[in-house]
């Protein structure tokens, strides 16, 4: 009789636990079946009243039943917790298409992208970066570069003057003279990026302020072939491995011979298009062999030392590379423009 | 310099060379040809005569013409739409098969009427409309009545069978402002024969003209008197040559002057002899007078201007313009002709000052050959003889103050090849120099000598000779080879790489990197100039008053960029720029930052306006980026009479007790003035040189304690004016030894807090090398509370 009751309890517990779906309900069932006042526990407390021969086997049965129910509840508990966690996680689902926090990396005026990149190319070739003042003396901007007073070449560069002998540098070339004077006869390998000024009205292709990167190498036995190879390497790194360069004779008072350097047009690969006006080439920079007078005036013996120099227009390179149609855009800093450019990794 | 190929062809053999070939040849020899202009083009052209002109039966504007094309082509029917087509007119006819710039002419039926050719306008032959009169662009070309019917050399007849090269003459090659020298150059490039004619016109009488110079600005002056000339129109060839080279034809004598100048590069001046009171022409440079020039305008002459005087009166502004008084006119009979050499710099000053520039003055400014004046006068005389019926020519009187300089130069073959990176043979070098008139001769094994031609003012040293060699033989011969240089460390210096680091840091924080102009107006150069508003450089010759001062700060320019964007609906901005600043007394690298509107976030869910602490955080970040400890810098309240920064929300940055920067929120009045009153703006100007050059020591490792630390919070009410940093400082002093850190984690004032007080909450970290007991902690906290209460009259809240 008692045995049957226990079996019934187990069956009942089995059914009810199986049908429980919340942890609250399970808690109720735990009380109902396993609390002190539950049928099972009251039977347990009455064990002592049973005859000893029955006591052992019935006690064992009660214990087993309690263990079974406990296990059932525990099992169910795990199950429910898992379900509840699952539901909680489902409720917590977010819209992962919403944007992340924090600002994007800042945009960079393409001027700096190009300036830093050119600088890095030459740094990797073992050049150092030299520096010079933007407010210059006539001596450094002109005279020490073989452009004496009233030299016709001064007409090529309309100059902003501060006084008769002080001016805004019209090119970065004065840094050549500064560097030579400081180096005192030792070999030189420098570039100098910097701002320059000319008395030009601003329009789409002219700017009273622009920037150049000056390059200067002085050593024994330097020749034009070295200039050509150096600039070839630069052109390939800057504009792509397929670019070729071409030298054309030109004139700068501080180099002799002087050259203009053209690269094959990136737009048409040298076949000729509207960008290169059908020539297949685009002019990117000027250079040449340092004039013996310049070496002499700045403390180098032109019989022993020779050197090459070049000047690259930073905006010009950026204009060619990015197809920028108006040089004034560099100085407006429209953020819609800046955000198109980021430093290359 | 415009070069007529038809004219230059007279002096150099151009057979088999197209205009493009010549242009390329010149360009790759360093003489850039900017443009090749073909005056006109067309094949199968012939001069016709309209015999009959009737209206087209099926059109209200077309005509049906019967045109006589001469015996070869006979009489042809042509349908023509030109309003000026009429009987009796001589016209240009493009026959069937003619190739015109617009296409090929084919036999056709126009509205049912057969048409065998086309009557042409010059426009249809490709003549630039700007060189045509209006009526020439609206109808067919009307040829003179005496035009020969059947003549097939129509372009020749019109003088349009020419091509013109536009040369960009660089400052070192003024000799190329002479067609003769261009011919020599082409001859050298293509190794062609060059024939420059020379003339000699013998004198028939002796002149009493005296020439001379009382100034070192005129080193050479030659003159000749010519009698009994007739002024009339120039011949067709000369008019056409002048026109092709951009010079207007006036009359034979003026045209001869210009023609000779274009060919030889030597400007000439003609005086009407009978208008001069004295037979003398003396160059001076000490005149101070009013001068009525050929253009009938009066100019002020000042000392330094070169004047050609006669009887102590200015008769010509040397190299610039003659006086009206002695100008050659249609009645002139007797002339003096002048060929002189003037100092380019003086001519440039005069010409710039008076705004007078001419083909002559430009040649003097760039430099002329000082040793050809007699040859040039003879050339001109010869033309005067031919074209002006000049009969009597005097001797040539010459003043020359300088000796012809030494023109030989010794060079080394090895030196030339070493400079160029080439291996040209001795013969190649000698040959190419001889093509260029350098009369090169080998002296020894490695030595040769050249004679610099007198027109090559630019060649003075061996390097110049190397350039002559390479520009003719071509840079394709240069071996491209990287220089083998010593290995060295190279790379950026510490301060250069720190600048890069700072820029990268700001970019990574989402700020955009800007570039602005260095020149500002006087007024703007002082606005928002928070650090160095003094000793600014000002330009002597600004282009506009918007750009006349060299700036000593970036902030104004950056605010302008911010406004540019703000006015284009980009209202949340974070901009920065680094740039080198120069004043009369200093040179330093600056950083400026402008934060405008709300913080830049990818989302827009919450809008947080930028404030003082965003900027302060960036600045503190900069120091930490470069490893500068907090003890080396501090912030102090900024005050200024200018209403630019909010007095309560701005600060100075002190680094090693020097003010190196100022930042803060803009003053409401400044915001209003900029049109930014609906938003907020935080700005910074900082001299980062001290940071770029700061000495930073390597940190030695500090052992990390094995014992746990304890954290306690303290909240208090204090007077609003007491800086939080003072409270922190006091806590650290008070708990010296045990307090490892103290940080503010909450500040509150307003509702629920007594006016003039604020609530501050501080987190204190306590630790020692050992286990802390409760008592130690309680005692410490009691001491801190006591010290705080004593110093700041704080009311502790927990």
Q: Are residues B326 and B388 in the same domain?
A: yes
Cβ <8 Å between A257 and B471: yes
Cβ <8 Å between A338 and B514: yes
pLDDT tens for B102-118 read 899 998 898 989 999 99
The CATH number of residue B239's host domain is 3.50.40.10
Pick among B25, B167, B514 to test the A interface (most A CBs inside 10 A) = B514
Residue B197 lies in a domain: no
Q: Are residues B269 and B175 in the same domain?
A: no
Q: Are residues B524 and B642 in the same domain?
A: yes
H helix count then E strand count, chain B:
20, 39
Distance, in Å, from the CA atom of B172 to the CA atom of B152, rounded to the nearest integer, reads 44
Of B242, B246, B236, B239, give the one whose Cα is nearest residue B166.
B246
Which tokens belong to B263? 């060919």
Q: Are residues A40 and A185 in the same domain?
A: no
Pick among B462, B475, B492, B496 to test the A interface (most A CBs inside 10 A) = B475
Distance, in Å, from the CA atom of B183 to the CA atom of B196, rounded to the nearest integer, reads 9
The answer on pLDDT for A1 being more than 60 is no
Q: Are residues A123 and A227 in the same domain?
A: yes
The residue whose two tokens read 């005496």 is B146
What number is the average pLDDT over the span B373-383?
Answer: 95
Cβ <8 Å between A289 and B463: yes
What number is the average pLDDT over the span A309-333?
Answer: 94
Pick among A146, A223, A245, A327 to test the B interface (most B CBs inside 10 A) = A223
Burial class (CB in 10 A: 0-12, 13-18, 19+), B570: middle
Residue B701 lies in a domain: no
Residue B698 lies in a domain: no
Distance, in Å, from the CA atom of A263 to the CA atom of A245, rounded to the nearest integer, reads 4
Last residue of a domain, one of A60, A91, A122: A91
The answer on pLDDT for A344 being more than 70 is no
Q: Are residues B244 and B367 in the same domain?
A: yes
Residue B502 lies in a domain: yes
pLDDT at B484: 80
Which tokens belong to B44? 């199968």
Cβ <8 Å between B467 and A232: no
- Chain A hits for B601, CB-CB cut-off 8 Å, are 101-103
Selecting from B478, B487, B573 the residue whose C-beta is nearest the C-beta of A335 gives B573
Q: Are residues A84 and A115 in the same domain?
A: no
The CATH number of residue B23's host domain is 3.30.56.10
Cβ <8 Å between A128 and B518: no
Q: Are residues A148 and A260 in the same domain?
A: yes
Chain B residue with Cα closest to A122: B491
Residue B697 lies in a domain: no
Q: Are residues A123 and A85 in the same domain?
A: no
- Structural domain total, chain B: 6
Of B211, B224, B221, give the one whose Cα is nearest residue B401.
B221
pLDDT at A108: 94
Q: Are residues B89 and B148 in the same domain?
A: yes
Q: What is the pTM of this model?
A: 0.85
Cβ <8 Å between B466 and A257: yes
Cβ <8 Å between B485 and A187: yes
Residue A98 lies in a domain: no
Handedness of CA B613, B617, B622, B626 (dihedral sign): positive
Distance, in Å, from the CA atom of A117 to the CA atom of B267, rounded to the nearest integer, reads 51
- A247 CA to chain B: closest CA distance, Å? 6
Are the C-beta atoms of residues B333 and B227 closer than 8 Å to each other?
yes
Enclosing domain of residue B103: 45-158
The answer on pLDDT for B436 being more than 90 is yes
pLDDT at A155: 62
Give residue B273's pLDDT band: very low, low, confident or very high (50, 70, 90): very high
Chain A residue with Cα closest to B573: A335
Name the region of B240 (left: φ>0; alpha: ψ -120 to 50; beta: rest).
alpha
- B374 CA to chain A: closest CA distance, Å? 26
pLDDT tens for B105-155 read 998 898 989 999 999 999 999 888 877 788 888 899 999 999 999 999 999
- B306 CA to chain A: closest CA distance, Å? 16
For residues A43 and B731, the model is more confident at B731
Burial class (CB in 10 A: 0-12, 13-18, 19+), B307: buried
The answer on pLDDT for B679 being more than 60 is yes
Q: Are residues A305 and A159 in the same domain?
A: yes
Enclosing domain of residue A14: 2-91
Q: Are residues A59 and A172 in the same domain?
A: no
Residue A269 lies in a domain: yes
pLDDT at B390: 85
pLDDT mean across residues, chain B: 92
Burial class (CB in 10 A: 0-12, 13-18, 19+), A67: exposed
Chain B residue with Cα closest to A156: B171
Handedness of CA A222, A226, A231, A237 (dihedral sign): negative
pLDDT tens for A106-137 read 999 999 999 999 999 999 999 999 999 999 99
- B353 CA to chain A: closest CA distance, Å? 14
Cβ <8 Å between A219 and B485: yes
pLDDT tens for B37-76 read 888 888 999 999 999 999 998 888 899 999 999 999 999 9
- B511 CA to chain A: closest CA distance, Å? 5
Last residue of a domain, one of A57, A91, A125: A91
Selecting from B480, B496, B547 the residue whose C-beta is nearest the C-beta of A232 gives B480
Average the pLDDT over each of A42-51, B37-46, B94-103, B640-649 and give the range with the smallest value.
A42-51
Distance, in Å, from the CA atom of A330 to the CA atom of A317, rounded to the nearest integer, reads 12
Name the region of A150 (left: φ>0; alpha: ψ -120 to 50; beta: rest).
left
Are the C-beta atoms of residues B82 and B62 closer than 8 Å to each other?
no
Cβ <8 Å between A334 and B564: yes
pLDDT at B229: 93
Pick among A106, A278, A279 to test the B interface (most B CBs inside 10 A) = A106
Average the pLDDT over each of A56-60, A287-291, B349-353 and give the range with the smallest value.
A56-60
The answer on pLDDT for B487 being more than 80 is no
pLDDT over 70 percentage in chain B: 99
pLDDT tens for B193-238 read 999 999 999 999 999 999 999 999 999 999 999 999 999 999 989 9
Residue A344 lies in a domain: no
Distance, in Å, from the CA atom of B488 to the CA atom of B491, rounded to the nearest integer, reads 9
Q: Are residues A73 and A172 in the same domain?
A: no
Pick among A169, A255, A257, A289 to test the B interface (most B CBs inside 10 A) = A257
The residue whose two tokens read 């609250």 is A24
Selecting from B487, B492, B517 the residue whose C-beta is nearest the C-beta of A331 gives B517
Give residue A23's pLDDT band: very low, low, confident or very high (50, 70, 90): confident
- Structural domain total, chain A: 2
The answer on pLDDT for A312 being more than 70 is yes
Q: Are residues B183 and B130 in the same domain?
A: no
3-state secondary structure of B789: helix
Last residue of a domain, one of B359, B381, B400: B400
Residue A104 lies in a domain: no
Residue B77 lies in a domain: yes
Q: Are residues B571 and B687 in the same domain?
A: yes
Are the C-beta atoms of residues A285 and A261 closer than 8 Å to each other?
yes
Which tokens belong to A211? 């920037």
CB-CB neighbours of B288 under 10 Å: 11
Distance, in Å, from the CA atom of A338 to the CA atom of A109, rounded to the nearest integer, reads 5
Q: Are residues B154 and B279 in the same domain?
A: no
The answer on pLDDT for A42 being more than 90 is no
Q: Are residues B252 and B396 in the same domain?
A: yes
Residue B131 lies in a domain: yes
- Chain B hits for A343, CB-CB cut-off 8 Å, are 504, 507
Q: Are residues A128 and A255 in the same domain?
A: yes
pLDDT at B259: 96
Which tokens belong to A248? 């054309």
- Chain B hits for A334, CB-CB cut-off 8 Å, are 564-565, 568, 570
- Chain B hits for A249, CB-CB cut-off 8 Å, are 28-30, 467, 470-471, 475
The answer on pLDDT for A150 being more than 60 is yes
Which tokens belong to B258? 């210009």
Which tokens belong to A85? 């966690």
Q: Are residues B532 and B634 in the same domain?
A: yes
Selecting from B170, B542, B564 the residue whose C-beta is nearest the C-beta of A251 gives B170
Chain A residue with Cα closest to B537: A162
How many residue pairs bridge chain A and chain B with CB atoms within 8 Å of each other?
A: 245
pLDDT tens for B541-565 read 999 999 999 999 999 999 999 999 9
Cβ <8 Å between B475 and A103: no
The CATH number of residue A209's host domain is 3.30.930.10
What number is the average pLDDT over the span B569-591?
Answer: 96
pLDDT at B405: 79
First to last CA, chain A: 85
Residue A305 lies in a domain: yes
- Chain B hits for A197, CB-CB cut-off 8 Å, are 518-519
The answer on pLDDT for B698 being more than 90 is no
Q: Are residues A57 and A149 in the same domain?
A: no
Residue A133 lies in a domain: yes
Q: Are residues B153 and B167 in the same domain?
A: no
Complex confidence, ipTM:
0.87
Q: Are residues A42 and A152 in the same domain?
A: no
- Chain A hits for B492, CB-CB cut-off 8 Å, are 123, 129
Cβ <8 Å between A333 and B515: yes
The answer on pLDDT for B798 being more than 70 is no
- Chain A hits for B366, CB-CB cut-off 8 Å, are 152
Q: Are residues B357 and B436 in the same domain?
A: no
Distance, in Å, from the CA atom of B378 to the CA atom of B394, rounded to the nearest integer, reads 11
């Amino acid at each position: 009789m008692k045995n049957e009751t226990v079996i019934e309890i187990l069956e009942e517990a089995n059914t009810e636990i199986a049908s429980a779906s919340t942890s609250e309900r399970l808690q109720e069932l735990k009380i109902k079946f396993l609390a002190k006042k539950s049928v099972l526990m009251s039977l347990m407390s009455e064990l002592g009243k049973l005859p000893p021969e029955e006591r052992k086997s019935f006690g064992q049965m009660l214990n087993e039943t309690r263990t079974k129910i406990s296990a059932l509840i525990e099992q169910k508990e795990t199950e429910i917790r898992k379900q509840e966690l699952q539901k909680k996680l489902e409720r917590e689902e977010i819209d992962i298409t919403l944007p992340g926090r924090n600002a994007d990396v800042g945009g960079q005026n393409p001027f700096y992208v190009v300036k830093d990149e050119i600088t890095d190319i030459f740094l990797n070739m073992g050049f150092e970066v030299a520096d010079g003042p933007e407010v210059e003396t006539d001596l450094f901007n002109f005279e020490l570069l073989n452009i004496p007073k009233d030299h016709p070449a001064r007409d090529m560069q309309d100059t902003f003057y501060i006084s008769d002998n002080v001016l805004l540098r019209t090119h970065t070339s004065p840094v050549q003279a500064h560097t030579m004077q400081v180096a005192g006869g030792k070999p030189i390998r420098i570039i100098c990026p910097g701002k320059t000024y000319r008395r030009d009205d601003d329009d789409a292709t002219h700017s009273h302020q622009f920037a150049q990167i000056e390059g200067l190498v002085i050593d024994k036995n330097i020749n034009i072939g070295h200039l050509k190879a150096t600039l070839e390497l630069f052109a390939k790194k800057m504009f792509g491995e397929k670019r070729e360069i071409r030298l054309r004779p030109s004139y700068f008072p501080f180099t002799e011979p002087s050259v203009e350097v053209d690269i094959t047009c990136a737009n048409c690969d040298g076949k000729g298009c509207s960008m290169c006006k059908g020539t297949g080439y685009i002019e990117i920079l000027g250079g040449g062999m340092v004039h013996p007078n310049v070496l002499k005036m700045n403390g180098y013996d032109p019989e022993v030392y020779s050197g090459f120099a070049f000047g690259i227009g930073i905006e010009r390179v950026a204009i060619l590379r990015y197809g920028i149609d108006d040089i004034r855009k560099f100085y407006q800093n429209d953020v819609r423009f800046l955000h198109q450019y980021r430093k290359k990794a | 310099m415009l070069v007529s190929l038809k004219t230059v062809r007279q002096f150099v053999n151009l057979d088999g060379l197209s205009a493009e070939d010549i242009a390329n040849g010149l360009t790759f020899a360093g003489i850039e040809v900017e443009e090749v202009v073909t005056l006109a083009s067309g094949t199968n052209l012939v001069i016709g005569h309209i015999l009959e002109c009737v209206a087209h039966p099926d059109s209200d504007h077309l005509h049906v013409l019967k045109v006589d094309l001469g015996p070869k082509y006979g009489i042809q029917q042509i349908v023509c739409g030109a309003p000026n087509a009429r009987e009796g007119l001589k016209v240009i006819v493009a026959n069937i098969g003619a190739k015109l710039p617009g296409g090929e002419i084919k036999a056709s039926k126009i509205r049912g009427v057969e048409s065998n050719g086309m009557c042409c306008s010059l426009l249809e032959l490709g003549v630039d409309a700007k060189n045509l009169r209006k009526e020439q662009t609206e109808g067919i070309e009307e040829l003179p009545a005496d035009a020969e019917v059947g003549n097939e050399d129509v372009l020749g007849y019109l003088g349009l069978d020419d091509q013109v090269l536009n040369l960009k003459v660089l400052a070192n090659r003024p000799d190329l402002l002479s067609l003769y020298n261009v011919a020599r150059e082409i001859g050298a490039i293509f190794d062609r024969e060059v024939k420059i004619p020379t003339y000699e016109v013998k004198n028939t009488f002796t002149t009493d003209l005296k020439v001379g110079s009382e100034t070192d600005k005129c080193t050479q002056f030659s003159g000749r008197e010519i009698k009994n000339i007739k002024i009339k129109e120039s011949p067709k060839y000369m008019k056409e040559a002048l026109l092709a080279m951009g010079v207007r034809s006036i009359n034979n004598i003026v045209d001869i002057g210009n023609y000779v100048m274009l060919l030889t590069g030597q400007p000439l001046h003609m005086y009407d002899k009978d208008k001069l009171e004295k037979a003398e022409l003396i160059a001076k440079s000490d005149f101070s007078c009013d001068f009525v020039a050929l253009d009938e305008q009066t100019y002020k002459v000042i000392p330094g201007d070169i004047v050609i005087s006669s009887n102590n009166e200015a008769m010509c502004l040397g190299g610039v313009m003659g006086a009206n008084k002695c100008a050659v006119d249609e009645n002139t009979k007797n002339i003096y002709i002048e060929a002189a050499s003037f100092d380019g710099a003086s001519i440039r000053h005069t010409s710039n000052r008076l705004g007078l520039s001419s083909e002559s003055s430009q040649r003097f400014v760039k430099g002329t050959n000082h040793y050809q004046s007699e040859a040039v006068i003879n050339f001109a005389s010869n033309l005067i003889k031919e074209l002006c019926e000049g009969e009597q020519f005097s001797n040539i009187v010459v003043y020359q103050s300088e000796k012809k300089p030494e023109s030989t130069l010794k060079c080394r073959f090895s030196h030339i090849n070493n400079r160029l990176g080439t291996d040209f043979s001795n013969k190649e070098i000698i040959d190419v120099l001889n093509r260029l008139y350098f009369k090169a001769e080998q002296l020894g094994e490695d030595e040769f000598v050249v004679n610099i031609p007198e027109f090559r003012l630019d060649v003075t040293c061996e390097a110049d000779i190397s350039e002559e060699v390479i520009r003719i033989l071509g840079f394709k011969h240069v071996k491209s080879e990287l220089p083998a240089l010593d290995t060295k460390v190279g790379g950026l210096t510490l301060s250069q790489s720190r600048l890069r680091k700072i820029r990268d840091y700001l970019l990574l924080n989402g700020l955009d990197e800007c570039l602005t102009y260095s020149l500002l107006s006087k007024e703007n150069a002082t606005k928002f100039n928070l650090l160095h508003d003094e000793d600014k450089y000002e330009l002597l010759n600004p282009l506009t008053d918007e750009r006349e001062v060299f700036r000593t700060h970036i902030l104004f320019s950056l605010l302008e960029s911010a406004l540019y964007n703000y006015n284009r609906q980009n209202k949340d901005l974070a901009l920065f720029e680094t740039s080198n600043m120069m004043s009369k007394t200093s040179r330093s690298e600056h950083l400026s930052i402008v934060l405008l509107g709300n913080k830049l976030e990818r989302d827009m869910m919450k809008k947080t306006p930028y404030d003082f602490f965003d900027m302060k955080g960036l600045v503190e970040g900069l120091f930490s980026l470069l490893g500068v400890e907090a003890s080396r810098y501090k912030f102090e309240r900024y005050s200024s009479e200018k209403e630019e920064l909010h007095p309560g929300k701005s600060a100075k940055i002190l680094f090693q007790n020097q003010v190196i920067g100022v930042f803060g929120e803009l003053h409401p009045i400044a915001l209003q003035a900029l049109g930014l009153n609906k938003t907020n703006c935080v700005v910074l100007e900082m001299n980062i040189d001290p940071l770029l050059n700061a000495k930073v020591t390597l940190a030695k490792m500090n052992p990390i304690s094995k014992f746990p630390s304890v954290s306690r919070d303290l909240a208090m009410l204090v007077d609003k004016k007491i800086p939080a940093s003072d409270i922190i400082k006091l806590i650290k002093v008070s708990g010296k030894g045990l307090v490892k850190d103290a940080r503010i984690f909450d500040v509150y004032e307003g509702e629920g807090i007594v006016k003039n007080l604020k609530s501050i909450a501080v987190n204190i970290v306590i630790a020692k090398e050992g286990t802390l007991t409760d008592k130690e902690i309680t005692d410490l906290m009691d001491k801190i509370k006591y010290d705080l209460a004593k110093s700041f009259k704080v009311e502790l809240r927990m």
